[in-house]
Amino acid sequence: MSKPTGYSRRDFIKTGSAAAGLGLAAPAALAGALPEAPGVIPRRSRPAVVSSGNGHQYRHDGDLTCVETVFQRMTQGDDILDSVIAGVRINELDPGDTSVGYGGLPNGDGVVQLDASVMHGPMKRAGSVACLEGVRTPAAVARAVMHETDHHLLVGPDAQRFARNMGFTIEDDLNSDVSRARWLDWRRRTDPSRWPGEDDPQRIGFLSGMEMVEEGLIDAEHYWGTINCNAVNAAGEIAGCTTTSGLAWKIPGRVGDSPILGAGLYVDGEVGAAGSTGRGEANLYNLTSFLIVENLRRGMTPLDAGMDAIRRIQQNTIEPRLLNEQGEPNFGIRFYILNAAGEHAGVTLRGGGNYAICTENGPEMVPFESLL
């Protein structure tokens, strides 16, 4: 697993030609950029990419992280969504990132089930997959759903069958040695076959997972999984993608917010984009990414739009099991926001941490704004 080291702006600019060679492992029929959307009014924006922190942490076998790849490709003229998918693909393929793709932490039965959504602002089109098994790059499959069908969401075995028909490689097991070892460790600590009841065994499973986080066996950010990445180019074209292996040790078949439009991701090509990581159920209930983009439409800044939505989650969290001793939500959730002008923000319910951005000044990590 490689992480960013000293990387100057000069080095970043030099890698432009290398980024152009980072292709997508998708069928030849899908390799071309989408046709230009009709009727889009040209405008100038500050090119920018915003992502969860893991978007500037992993490089897989290349020289660039996700946000660097997206920025290089889109500023060289590649389709805005193709650029985003090329970026998140780095995380999907890197087994060091146990929150997405190959080597993502599996469900309670030890099976890696992946979710992803994509939205193309200029085309006003979207695609998603959920509970997809056997394909390392679910974001590319979501793009195929958008590009090749009249639908927005395919799930389970039928999503895998669609991927096979589109030419994607299907594997029997997407566990890496690390993800399998972590699941076996968790299984020894709890019984994954038990279901919530009077003794709340699901809570026991959660606490066992948190013990593994405290022991350093699992990155705290990877327990809930996910990478979200949104981008706007100089022409003001916007696209976004959220891809994830979901909640670690989840009930098989559980689908969180990531593949659901308006929750894990929402893009309006005239306004902006928002996506999330963290507790998917809280985001699903509030459709928070949609709310954020609507706030942008009403003229709010990315920061104000995000904080307003975080407050909505706080107000709607009333179940005692989801509250701490202070009566506040006891979980984490974060949003990554970009408007059509290239302005950005990262907001979180609680705690610190950083999110990733990339502009003409190069990549950097920026602190979140926290509500609590």
Cite the active site residues.
226
Coil/strand/helix, residue 36: coil
Strand 362-367, strand 238-244: pairing: unpaired
What is the CB neighbour count within 10 angstroms for residue 272?
28
Structure tokens at 131: 């509970």
What are the helix (H) ranges across 215-332? 220-224, 280-286, 288-297, 302-316
Mark 185-219 as b/e (b = at least 16 C-beta within 10 Å). ebbeebebeeeeeeeebbeebbebbeebeeeeebe
CA torsion angle for 252, 56, 90, 141 (degrees, to 10)? 50
Residue 79: name the closest of 273, 261, 233 by CA.
233
For 97-127, the three-class secondary structure string (H helix, E strand, C coil) is: CCCCCCCCCCCCCCCCCEEEEEEECCCCEEE
Residues belonging to the chain: 372
Number of helices and strands (H, E) in the chain?
A: 12, 13
Q: In the chain, what's the furthest Cα-to-Cα distance?
A: 60
Which neighbouring-strand residues pair with 232?
Answer: 48, 238
d(CA 85, CA 105): 21
353 closest CA partner among 216, 156, 219: 219
- How many C-beta atoms surround the C-beta of residue 360 within 10 A? 14
Exposure of 13 by Cβ count < 10 A (0-12 exposed, 13-18 middle, 19+ buried)?
exposed
